[in-house]
Structure 1
Amino acid sequence: MKGNLPAYHANPPVDSLVLYKIRPARVVSVGEKIEIELEGGHSKRVRAKDVEVLHPGPLRQLADLTPQTGELTEAWELLEGTETTLRELAELAFDAFTPATAWATWQRVAEGLTFSGTPNAIRAQTREAVEREQAERAAKAAAERDWQDFLARMAAASPAPEDAPRLAEVERLALGQSERSRILEALGHQQTPENAHRALIQVGYWASHHNPHPRRCGAPITDADLPVPELPEDERLDLTHLAAYAIDDEGNQDPDDALSIDGERLWVHVADVAALVAADSELEREARARGANLYLPEGIVNMLPAAVTDRLGLGLQPVSPALSFGIRCGEAGEILDVEIHRTWVRVERLSYETVEQRLDEPAFAPMRTITDRFRAYRTARGATSLDLPEVSVRVVDGRVVIRPLPKLNSRALVTDAMLMAGEAVARFCLDQGIPIPFATQAPPENGEEPTDLATMYARRRGFKPTRLMIEPDRHAGLGLDLYTRATSPLRRYSDLLVHQQLRSWLAGREPLVASQIVERIGESDAASVAIRRGERLSNQHWKLLFLRDNPDWRGEGIVVGREERRAVVLLPELAMEARVRIRDEVSLNQSLRLAVTEVDLPGLTVNFRILG
């Protein structure tokens, strides 16, 4: 065709203008490879297929490719919708086909707006296509300006209200729901949940005290919202004549156990949750998917709807339905027998502090005698008693309140009564062939008897986690050959499952089989992992927030471990573990006076220095 460039199947001529990638180049020499000169005087050896001829030359120097004045727009209007060549287009627009006009023409084609194609096949776009492309380019340019303006606001920590949808992308990374953020990448930050957390606080999208950990762990953050059925009309043993006491921390919102004494028999009454939450019901599946209540310093997220607690919480109504375990112990603390009944009980709610002052009264002294014998029984069988510091962490009116939990005899009484019920129910179910999840724990690797804070710390670290198994086995930490969790069905799914099995047996129905128990426990255990991790990280979050808001804090740290140039310390006042840099040798159980130097809330770390 007349207007076509010659086809150079082998090599382009010397001094021709060629296109190398998107840049102009001059052919310097031709051999096995082609030597080309690029802008700036640089030369390069390339293959023939790596270049495309724009003009056969001669082009003596690239500096000759000076800007040209022509009529390329008029040429497009004339050629609209047709096809042409680089030579024809240059001659039409500039009245000449020279290396300079060829390059000026190709630059217009490369823009891709009015023309497109190759040097030998250039398409003049239709007006509709050009207008559409112009609109798209304008929109893209506006979006890029908007993006750059947004990044500038982020860098200045002053986002606009309309930036909230974009910041949701950063929030997803901060919550562990995605692995990358284009925004953090553009700002030059490493894409981690911690950095996303910092960015969201810096720009005010999250409050400085925001706790992301439950959601980041995958724990539910709202209560279940499901209808609750009416209580069935079961036949129940009336125990309302017995004084029953629900003993718990002040302000407890879900009282699910209470104690009575009847001669030599200690009654442990437990909220009859399985009466409303039947196996395979929607409520049961919801509880199974959650695993347990989520206890946070800022509040509780219940695994069951609040209406279940309102109806069944012991002492929340004048008379409460319960599943009651009547236990009789021998002189050595061993369990002699247990009765299990669906009951009515009349419960008074008391705090540990109140009961502590009344332990010698007739209402509580017999209970304490029985539970003391049972504790001695467990101790003789290897139970571990760890006197490690514990605290209550609460957020009250936006302020973090940390209160040490005193070692009360009333608390020990209730704990031992619940453990007694757990052993009694486990033995009853084993004797009756009722499949339940048994709570088991292997002995610790460190068998040293703990006598001080450091050895208690080491002993706790040596324990394996408690496991729920369909086959009975020993719980080493509790000193019990058989044990199950059966006293917290409002708060924990495994307890609810045990209650469902007991109610089926009491009603003469077939309980779930072992394989069904294993399946349900596996599902709830997976959910409980998120709950426990969310609780642990949330407690650490609020403790660090307390330290951040109290930069002048001074406190005691007890050395419980030693690492290279660091001491592992427990802070009793905060029930918190930390690592402190040391210059001098320290001994286990040594007391160090500490001060805060830096708190990194998103990173969940705190640095202390030793005073004196």
Structure 2
Amino acid sequence: IAWKNVERRKKSGAVHISMPEVHISVEPETKKVSIEPLVHPKSSEMIREMMLLAGEGAAKFAFKNQIPFPFVSQEAPVIPDDVPEGLAGQFRLRRCMRKRSVGVTPGMHCALGLNMYSQVTSPLRRYGDLIAHIQLRAFLDKRELLDKDTMLMRISEGDAGAQAAHKAERKSNMHWTLVYLLQNPGWTGEAVCVDKGMKLPLFSIPSLAIETFMPCPEKTELNDVVKIKVKKIELTELQVEFEIVN
């Protein structure tokens, strides 16, 4: 069922982007930081498709029964013809993606290749999902539903809190990544050139799941891999500079 759903979504224009991910852990007593690559096995891909089917099914159920519901949509990305291969191509696709929107009117979620969608599978960690559950339970129990304005106000407030939490999470991840580099002063790694459209080329560092601007030889092309080391760390500013190892 999962793989059939993948093919169905692809035919509808779904865009799959795969960027490097890592898991950061901190030993409580010693504060020693470990960073390991995050691998997604086939089982997690199957779960993802089941979650998408659940969201699509809930959205269709709500629409059919005229339930005020947090429908999630996303406009189609404008993808150029010259998308490169490899990690640089994934980076280019990510930049093409439009921002998602939540509203009471269903619309196409182009990135997922779904005509109608809502997020419902994580009510313990996403407030919008909890709102969806509140509406579905109220409908099934024949209780009064939240009206559209009340629902949208709650979702807006929840999104503001979620954005603040995501911002804090990004800063926390960067903090512990820099602590990891400080704990390993001899660290060297590989960086992949993913964009050359700025004043300085942009590199992705897969082993750390971060990106950095860095000077490099003019002959460097997209997807070229260079060996790098840390040049300077400003922990309080959450900033790090890298340089190429000759």
> Shorter-normalised TM-score: what interval?
over 0.9
Question: Where does 1:461-480 land on structure 2 (aligned, <5 Å)?
Answer: 461-480=95-114
1:420 equivalent to 2:47? Answer no
1:376 to 2:7 alignment: yes
Residue 72 of structure 2 aligns with which residue?
Answer: 439
Are residue 396 (structure 1) and residue 30 (structure 2) matched? no
- State the alpha-carbon separation in 1 of the partners of residues 49 and 183 from structure 2: 38
1:139-185 CA-partner distances (Å, limit 9, x unpaired): xxxxxxxxxxxxxxxxxxxxxxxxxxxxxxxxxxxxxxxxxxxxxxx
Q: Does 1:562 align with 2:196?
A: yes
Spell out, residue by residue over 1:259-291, the C-alpha distance to the aligned partner (whole angstroms, 9 max, x if none).
Answer: xxxxxxxxxxxxxxxxxxxxxxxxxxxxxxxxx
Q: How many residues align?
A: 243
Q: What is the Cα deviation at residue 583 of structure 1?
A: 3.7
**Contact 1:450/1:459 (8 A) holds in 2:** no
Tell me the equivalent position of 2:209.
Answer: 575
Offset of residue 451 of structure 1: 3.9
* Alpha-carbon shift at residue 564 of structure 1 (Å): 5.3
CA distance in structure 1 between the aligned counterparts of 2:198 and 2:46, rounded to whole angstroms: 42
Query: In the alignment, what sits opposite 1:529?
Result: 163
Counterparts of 2:142 and 2:80, CA distance in 1: 45
TM-score of the superposition, structure 2-length normalised? 0.94
**Which consecutive segments of 4 or more residues in structure 1 shift more than 6 A?**
none
Contact 1:561 1:567 in 2 (8 A): yes
Aligned with residue 183 of structure 2, among 515, 529, 549: 549
Contact 1:400 1:542 in 2 (8 A): yes
Partners of 2:111 and 2:178 lie apart in 1 by: 30
- For residue 485 of structure 1, give the secondary structure of its aligned residue in structure 2: coil
Kindly state the Cα deviation for residue 597 of structure 1 after the two structures are TM-superposed. Answer: 1.1
Bigger radius of gyration among the two: 1
Q: Structure 2: how far apart are the matches of 1:450 and 1:423?
A: 32
Equivalent residue, structure 1, for 2:236: 602
Which sections of structure 2, spanning at least 5 residues, go unmatched? none
* Mapping for residues 346-361 of structure 1, pairs under 5 Å: none
Question: Residue type matched to 2:184 in 1?
Answer: N
Contact in 2 for aligned 1:565/1:581 (Cα 8 Å): no
Partners of 2:134 and 2:101 in 1: how far apart?
20
Q: Secondary structure at the match of 2:116?
A: coil
Distance in 1, Cα, partners of 2:95 & 2:25: 26
In 2, Cα distance between the equivalents of 1:451 and 1:430? 39
Distance 1:531 1:568, change over 3 A: same
Query: Which letter does structure 2 place at the counterpart of 1:381?
Result: S
What is the correspondence of 1:280-359 to structure 2 with a 5 Å cutoff? Answer: none
Instruction: Please provide the CA RMSD for this pair.
Output: 1.5
* Aligned match of 2:41: 408
Q: Give the Cα separation in 2 of the matches to 1:466 and 1:544.
A: 31
CA distance in 1, matches of 2:72, 2:19: 23
Q: CA deviation at 1:450?
A: 6.7
One-letter code of the match for 1:498? A
Paired residues of 1:553 and 1:595 also in contact (CA < 8 A): yes
Q: State the 1:420 CA deviation.
A: 0.8
Gap regions ≥5 residues in structure 1: 1-369
Whether 1:483 and 2:83 are equivalent positions in the alignment is no
Alpha-carbon displacement from aligned partner over 1:61-109 (angstroms, at most 9, x marks no partner): xxxxxxxxxxxxxxxxxxxxxxxxxxxxxxxxxxxxxxxxxxxxxxxxx
1:37-72 CA-partner distances (Å, limit 9, x unpaired): xxxxxxxxxxxxxxxxxxxxxxxxxxxxxxxxxxxx
**2:183 partner amino acid:** D
Q: Specify the SS of the correspondent of 1:581.
A: coil
- What is the CA-CA distance between 1:563 and the residue it aligns to? 4.5
CA-CA distance at 1:394 after TM superposition: 1.8
Aligned AA (1:499):
H
SS at match of 2:88: helix
Paired position in structure 2 for 1:502: 136
- The alignment partner of 1:542 has SS state of helix
Normalized per residue, the structure richer in strand is 1
Say which structure, 1 or 2, has more relative contact order (CA 8 Å, 6+ apart). 2
SS at match of 1:520: helix
Deviations 1:174-230 (A, max 9, x none): xxxxxxxxxxxxxxxxxxxxxxxxxxxxxxxxxxxxxxxxxxxxxxxxxxxxxxxxx
Distance across 2 between alignment mates of 1:401 and 1:466: 33
User: Quick check: 1:388–1:456 contact (8 Å CA) kept in 2?
Assistant: yes
| 1:592 aligned counterpart, secondary structure | strand
1:430 aligns with: 63
**Which residue of the partner structure matches residue 4 of structure 1?**
none
- Give the TM-score of the pair, scaled to structure 1: 0.39
Aligned to 1:458: 92
For the 8 Å contact 1:505–1:511, the answer to whether it is kept is: yes
Query: Contact (CA 8 Å) 1:565, 1:583: kept in 2 or not?
Result: no
Q: Distance in 2 between matches of 1:399 and 1:411?
A: 29
Q: How does 1:2-401 map to 2 (within 5 A)?
A: 370-397=1-28, 398-401=31-34
